[in-house]
Amino acid sequence: MSHPSGRLLTGLVHGPENGTPVLFIAGAGTGKSMAFGDGLLDTCGIRLLTMDRPGMGDSTADPARTPTSTAEDYRVFVAAVLGTPDAEVPVIANSQGALFGLAAAAQGWAQTLVLASPADEVANPTVRGLLPEAARALPELAQRAPDAARDLLSSFTPDAMRTMVLSGSDPQDRAFYTAPGFDARYRTALAEGFGDDGSGYVADTMMASTPWPVDLASITIPVTVLFGARDQVHSPDHGSFLTDRLPRARRTVIPEAGGALLWTHADVVFDAALQQSNA
């Protein structure tokens, strides 16, 4: 579809045409092919919408992209798919996509928000203080020398991203990520996410690594934060501090889940999105 600016936005629709529309905002370096809960879409009556962020897949890059403009791109995409300019839909955001889900919530068109294994604001002093030393390097570089950080991120490839995810995962998550069905989808989504020489991935990660220009206290819609107890990747405190910063947020830590919670516990994620939207 064509954005009012003339840019192209590309996406996919998964699930039944008459299902309840739910927007899914995928994590780092992944495009529109990344989805979840395939076997539940018909059962739960969900029409899952996914989009290539600017600079990913076939979506035109936006050199001036911000979290706010990215959320607006998602709004334009949802409106085009549903054929209504003022559509409000539940939003589910995963990992690094959490920033854009929060920006959508702050804009007021997200009906509810589910953050599944969200990455926290690593530039926030409280969060940074909880991070291991190695995890502080990129956000510190992004703030101190942004051009050097962009150069570093530009050297990343889909294979390097996959390797990094696998090396940081525990054995159970790693077994899930390398299973043939998921691995094929992940590789396709990474190829989309690193299209246009990785410009979309670089933009995403620079935004996630620097202070977030989103007023979390202004978000008044219901927010559910979901974490797996085995997850040692996405947040140093399993989203506790992030939840405290959101006026109407509730957090659930699932004992048997890890960083792959979005896929291994898709029913919990969908239940949260649908129950919140019907509350």
Residue 6 maps to a domain: no
Residue with token string 């992004």 = 142
For 116, left (φ over 0), alpha (ψ -120 to 50), or beta? beta
Residue 220 maps to a domain: yes
Identify the pLDDT of residue 276: 62
Domain holding 117: CATH number? 3.40.50.1820
Residue 5 maps to a domain: no
Residue with token string 């620079």 = 206
Strands (DSSP E) found in the chain: 11-14, 20-25, 46-51, 89-95, 110-118, 223-228, 249-254
Interatomic CA distance for residues 171 and 14, integer angstroms: 30
Sign of CA dihedral 177, 182, 185, 188: positive
Interatomic CA distance for residues 279 and 230, integer angstroms: 30
Q: How far is CA 94 from the centre of its chain?
A: 4
pLDDT tens string 40-65: 999 999 999 999 999 999 999 999 99
Residue 82 maps to a domain: yes
Q: Cα separations (Å) of 203 from 155, 220, 252?
A: 13, 27, 30
> Would you state the structure tokens that stand for residue 2, as one six-digit string?
């064509």
> Would you state the structure tokens that stand for residue 39, as one six-digit string?
């076997």
Pair 8, 196: CB distance under 8 Å: no
Looking at this protein, which amino acid is placed at residue 187?
A: R
Spatial neighbors of 125 by CB under 8 A, at least 6 apart, are: none
Identify the pLDDT of residue 277: 58
pLDDT tens string 224-244: 999 999 999 999 999 999 999
Identify the pLDDT of residue 279: 54
Pair 97, 189: CB distance under 8 Å: no
Residue 2 maps to a domain: no
Please state the domain count of the chain.
Answer: 1
Can you give the residue range of the structural domain that contains 103? 11-278
Q: Which residues of the chain have pLDDT under 70?
A: 276-279
pTM: 0.96
Residue 3 maps to a domain: no
